[in-house]
């Protein structure tokens, strides 16, 4: 595994409302990843873990919903590690859309 991509997405919604909005808009996530598809996802308390299949690779991700931010952690396989900077930038740009 390459180093994980970690991004904090600040919000002023409170934990419960942030989680509700993520649940409501989670389906949009696949559309942000060309050829990608969410293959599994589950909530454990205020943590959403999910797997995205893209370009023949599996990417594991985790969203920790907190009172004033959502901490995203994406574990990239070595083959996709070279795209870590681009993935982090895309997450910072698109991540707040999950909270709308």
Give yes or no for a contact between 100 and 25, defined as CB atoms under 8 angstroms apart.
yes
pLDDT attached to residue 34 = 66
CB-based contact 64:47 (threshold 8 Å): yes
- Return the CATH architecture of domain 5-99: 2-Layer Sandwich (3.30)
Report, as an integer, the average pLDDT of 30-38.
Answer: 74
For the chain, domain boundaries: 5-99
Cα–Cα distance, 54 to 14 (Å, whole number): 32
Instruction: Band the pLDDT of 75: cuts 50, 70, 90.
Output: very high
Residue 7's pLDDT is what? 95
Average pLDDT rounded to a whole number, residues 48-58: 88
What average pLDDT is seen over the chain?
89
- Would you give the distance in Å from CA 83 to the centre of its chain? 15
Residue 3 has pLDDT above 80, yes or no: no
């Amino acid at each position: 595994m390459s180093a994980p991509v970690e991004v904090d997405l600040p919000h002023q919604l409170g934990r419960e409302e942030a989680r509700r909005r993520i649940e409501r808009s989670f389906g949009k996530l696949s559309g942000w990843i060309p050829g990608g598809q969410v293959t599994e996802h589950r909530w454990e308390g205020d943590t959403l873990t999910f797997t995205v299949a893209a370009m023949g690779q599996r990417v594991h991700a985790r969203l920790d919903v907190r009172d004033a931010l959502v901490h995203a952690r994406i574990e990239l396989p070595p083959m996709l590690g070279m795209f870590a900077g681009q993935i982090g930038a895309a997450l910072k740009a698109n991540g707040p859309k999950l909270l709308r």
